[in-house]
A and B are shown apart, each in its own frame.
Chain A
Amino acid sequence: MKSITRRALAGLAGAAFLPAARAATSPAAPRVVIIGGGAGGATVARYLAMNDKPLDVTLIEPKQRFTTCFFSNLYLAGLRSFESLTHGYDALSDRYGIHVVHDRGAAIDPAAKTVRLEGGASLPYDRLVVAPGIAFKEGAIAGYDEAAMQIMPHAWMAGPQTRLLRSQLEAMPDGGVFVIAAPADPFRCPPGPYERASLVAAYFKQHKPRSKIQILDAKDTFFEQELFQDGWNRHYPGMIEWLPNQFIGAIESVDVKDRSIRTADQTFKADVANVIPPQIAASLAQQAGLAGETGWCPVDPATYESTRHPGIHLVGDAVSVGMMPKSAYVANSQAKACAFAIAAALTGAESVRPFLYNTCYTFLAPDDAVSDAISFRIASGKTEIAEILMSTLDQSPAQRAEAVREANGWYDAFTHDIFG
């Protein structure tokens, strides 16, 4: 087994020792390097490490502990602790023998098949997996820069931003206005902005009942709209106002001085503002030429190998695959298809048909959750939706409460599947 310890790896400063140390421990095993330790990248690492024939698996992730975006709206509403959303990499390194390196991918050389890390190390690979997540499109909303994010948080990458938004909501006086700016498709977690409005409304209902929520939407419709609007009418009548693009015009700029958001037609002043900007694949994917003109990365729908750079695979929110939503579940599902394809290519493991699904639990209130399930099929080189089922408006409160229980159980099982 790979005897190099996580501690030993963490202590490495230079580049030279890393490949040598691995060569000494598993001389023949093909090397797979994975950049990004979220739902996509960590799942690829874990499933590769479980392959029958050994693979030398290295996972590059800057964060020591990873906080999930999914379920972070429950934290914003005070229904879940931040700690309960935070996961370490000890199981992946100790139980699965994955080399977890807390660094950031700086540059990829597809010809030499090496990745250079910010810390200076250069890692050779036989296959590379890039699971970098999202970046915000620069300049899409005028004035919304790094400094503005500290005043009007996005909280769309879980971590300090999520805590900042929670503290602002806690400090907001009763009767205040919470404004959410929601982006056009495609973006990470299609129901996310609306679930956020729902759960913050649940918090306001209990603690600041005179407060209001406005959603400024760059779209004219949104995912599970009927279910959300039914939930808002039942749980928080009059509290949430959804303002689609056709009424307010495009979201153009922010002004941090008075926490205002300007659209083509109006200006909205907030007590707490949550700006969720338009998104593209994270910068490493852009730099490495893995993204297309849309800003997202095209891949083979069965193997998740880049169509632009053979030998490099991509999974998760950064890729663009037919109608697949950008969700952690999809990232995890893609990751398995990708891991089996890499194992087949590198170790001769039997190739496995990809089984691609999405399921999603969405909270309308602390005791009212809905779910949707999608199966995908690959036809003529394209990923299509084979079947989609969603919760319906006529479900009983007991069924919705059961979905809340199931959702919490799902989080436990799902994060075990990712982080071990």
Chain B
Amino acid sequence: MKRYRIALALALAGLIALPCAAAPADQGRGLAAACASCHRTDGHDSVIPSIAGLDESRIVHLMLVYRSTDQGSQIMHVVAGALSPEEIEAVAHFVAGHPSGTRP
């Protein structure tokens, strides 16, 4: 899949280190809670876009880009930088599975 290619490309470029431990599936819930401090989860954009129901591979792609550079957003660079690729996958999976109005 595309997201693995991106992750691999970034890893090969030396931009990220792939940790060995996989994130438990439920970490996605804890991570999505962190997103909700700035992103509404009910589909309403508030300048900062809502993340409800975003496409999973799109989230993974963007998070890996944010992780690799602070050009797009310093805040998202710090947020993504604290996460392993597995945790990024977990949050993307969780957010994509929870369209607007569902519980984080």
Contacts and interface: CB of A to CB of B under 8 A. Distances in A.
Contacts, number: 92
B46 to A, nearest CB: 4
A309 interface: no
B103 A50 contact: yes
Interface string A360-402: 0000000000010111010000000011111100000000000
Interface in B1-51: 24, 26-27, 29-31, 33-34, 36-40, 42, 45-48
Interface string B63-84: 0000000100011011101110
B104 interface: yes
A207 interface: no
B98 to A, nearest CB: 11
Contact of A417 (B36, B47, B79): B36
Nearest to A389: B74
B48 A410 contact: yes
B38 to A, nearest CB: 5
Contacts of A53: none
Interface in A405-420: 405-406, 408-410, 412-414, 416-417
B21 to A, nearest CB: 11
Interface residues of A, number: 36
A332 interface: yes
B26 A373 contact: no
A355 interface: yes
A336 interface: yes
Given A336-B30, A353-B30, A413-B48, A374 B78 contact: yes
22 contacts: A50-B104, A332-B37, A333-B34, A355-B83, A357-B78, A371-B74, A375-B78, A377-B82, A386-B81, A387-B78, A387-B82, A389-B77, A389-B78, A409-B48, A410-B46, A412-B47, A413-B39, A413-B46, A413-B48, A416-B40, A417-B36, A417-B37
Interface of A: 47, 50, 329, 332-333, 336, 340, 349-350, 352-355, 357, 359, 371, 373-375, 377, 386-391, 405-406, 408-410, 412-414, 416-417
Interface of B: 24, 26-27, 29-31, 33-34, 36-40, 42, 45-48, 70, 74-75, 77-79, 81-83, 103-104
Shortest Cβ-Cβ A-B pairs, 5 listed: A409-B47, A352-B30, A375-B82, A373-B78, A412-B46
